[in-house]
Amino acid sequence: MALERKGIPTATFVTHTFASYAEGLCRMQRMQALPLVVIAHPVAARPVEELREKVRGVSTQVRAALTRSR
């Protein structure tokens, strides 16, 4: 949020377990436009290949978030 407020594009990763929480915080902070990239929970202590797969699945969203017009 701090980076976005400075005009720096971001993509914020959040696992689906925390997605509604992240959306709620964005609303409270009046940052509804903050690009959230939701990936499947869990990510901690998971095999690297599984994590790569999860990230590959959202690469388009990450690219869109970082290159969007502001």
Partner 1 sequence: MSSAGPVKARAFEMEDTYSKIFEYFDLCCEKGWTDGLPVYPPTEPALEAMLRYTDRKRFDVVAEIPPRNGAATVEKIAINAIMAGCRPEYLPVLISAIEAMVQPEYNLYGRQTTTHPGAHLLIVHGPLRNELDVNCRQNVFGHGCRANATMGRALRLIMINIGGNQPGVTDMATHGHPGKYSYCIGEDEEGSPWNPLHVDRGLAPETSAVTVMCAEAPHNVNDMVSKTPELFLGSAASTMATLGSNTLYTSGNQSEHMLVVTSETAHWLSELGWSKRDVQAFLFANARKPVREMRDRGHWDVTPLPEFVDTTNDDSMVPIAGRPEDIVVLVAGGQGRHMNAILTAGYTRSVTRAVARKDGTPIRSTREFQA
Position among 11, 15, 18, 54 found at the interface with partner 1 (CB under 8 A) = 18
> What's the CA gap between 3 and 58, in Å, rounded?
21
Cβ of residue 41: shortest distance to partner 1, in angstroms?
12
Q: Distance between CA 51 and CA 53 in Å, rounded?
A: 5
Which of 57, 37, 55, 59 is closest to 47 using CA atoms? 55
| Segment contacting partner 1 by CB under 8 A, of 3-11, 20-28, 34-42, 57-65 | 20-28
As measured in angstroms, the least distance from the Cβ of 28 to partner 1 is: 5
CB of 39 to partner 1, least distance (A): 17
